[in-house]
Amino acid sequence: MDALGNPVRLLAGPGQQNDMAQAHDLIVGLHAEHVIADRAYDADNLMDTIFDQGGKPVIPPRRHRRHRHRYNKTIYKERNIIERFFAKLKHFRRVATRYDKLLANFLGFVKIAAIALCIK
């Protein structure tokens, strides 16, 4: 997402796969000042990738970490823009219920729904 809540890149994986598996591929090549994510994305390799690209991770540390890193709580509050986009995306019935069995077809309809939201 950019600062206005518009999607920059969309990736999808199989339904049983963890979201963290796609996170690295999602941010490679994107240069952002801040990368906002929730606690589930607190992983050293993802943080290193963000730092290598010149960005700052705004990810709260997981509870099991021995050395908790700092994050900007003010910027983290902007994560609701991302959550609102996904809530709007789920208004499209075909996306919310995932009628399509093939990932390529489903991702195509997600992109169509995202385009429709961007041109509103």
**pTM reported for the whole predicted model:** 0.77
68-104 pLDDT per residue, tens: 888 889 999 988 888 888 899 899 998 888 888 888 8
Which is higher by pLDDT, 17 or 66?
66
Mean pLDDT, rounded, for 14-24 = 79
Q: Which amino acid is at 105?
A: N
Two tokens, residue 52: 């290598």
| Tokens describing residue 67 | 């050395």
Residues 46-73 have pLDDT tens digits of 899 999 999 899 999 988 888 888 888 9
Q: Is the pLDDT of residue 42 over 80?
A: yes
Q: Give pLDDT tens digits for 24-35.
A: 888 888 888 898
Closest CA to 47 of 31, 35, 64: 35
| Nearest alpha-carbon partner for 46 in 66, 13, 38 | 38
Secondary element (H or E) of residue 36? strand 34-36
